[in-house]
Amino acid sequence: MGALVEQVIPDVVQVWNSRGGFGAGLIWRPGIVITSAHLLAPGAHRVILWTGEALPAEVVEVDREIDLAALRLPRPEGRAIPVREPATLPVGSLLLALGHPWGERYAVSLGVFGGWVLARTRGPRGTLRLLRTDAILAPGNSGGPLLDMGGRVVGISGMVVGGDQSLAVPADLAEAFVQKVSR
């Protein structure tokens, strides 16, 4: 698993807002970071790269119903990590969550894909199908990737529901969201 994490971790970033709030993000495409919308606050945002370099980040798209935001970096950093269609993921599959719990840089937790949760939303979709895992998440993990054992993104970590269950936005929904940014 260490080699897998080493391959992916350079594309996982820290996201900071102007109020001192923090979380994780993933370079989805060179220069475009996907993170959780609930991390955003009025004012400036910055992204801390794997190297420790801080870059300003422009908010280019937000969808609060699915809790995703896209940030544009001033230059094309990173690469696109392969994405796995979450519908092909068998229940019981091992998953890795990467992020920055409690503001500490780069932590990994291992969990199991526990199935799908249908969550109600306040927006036009009405419901949202989310991945459920027992990978340990904490404040600072939101917006980070949830990966299969092949190093492919299956979701974007979003929230903890109870002490041992976490939810993630499926990667196919994140990809559809990013398509709006590309237009």
Using DSSP's 3-state secondary structure scheme, residue 56 falls into strand
DSSP string, 85-112: -GGGPPTT-EEEEEE-GGG-S-EEEEEE
> What homologous superfamily is domain 2-80 in, according to CATH?
Trypsin-like serine proteases (2.40.10.10)
Region 10-36 average pLDDT: 96
Region 18-47 average pLDDT: 95
> What homologous superfamily is domain 86-179 in, according to CATH?
Trypsin-like serine proteases (2.40.10.10)
Per DSSP, 2 falls in state: H
Report the mean per-residue pLDDT for the chain.
Answer: 94
pLDDT (0 to 100) of residue 59: 96
pLDDT digits (tens, 9 = 90+) for 109-142: 999 999 999 988 888 888 999 999 999 999 999 9
pLDDT (0 to 100) of residue 153: 97
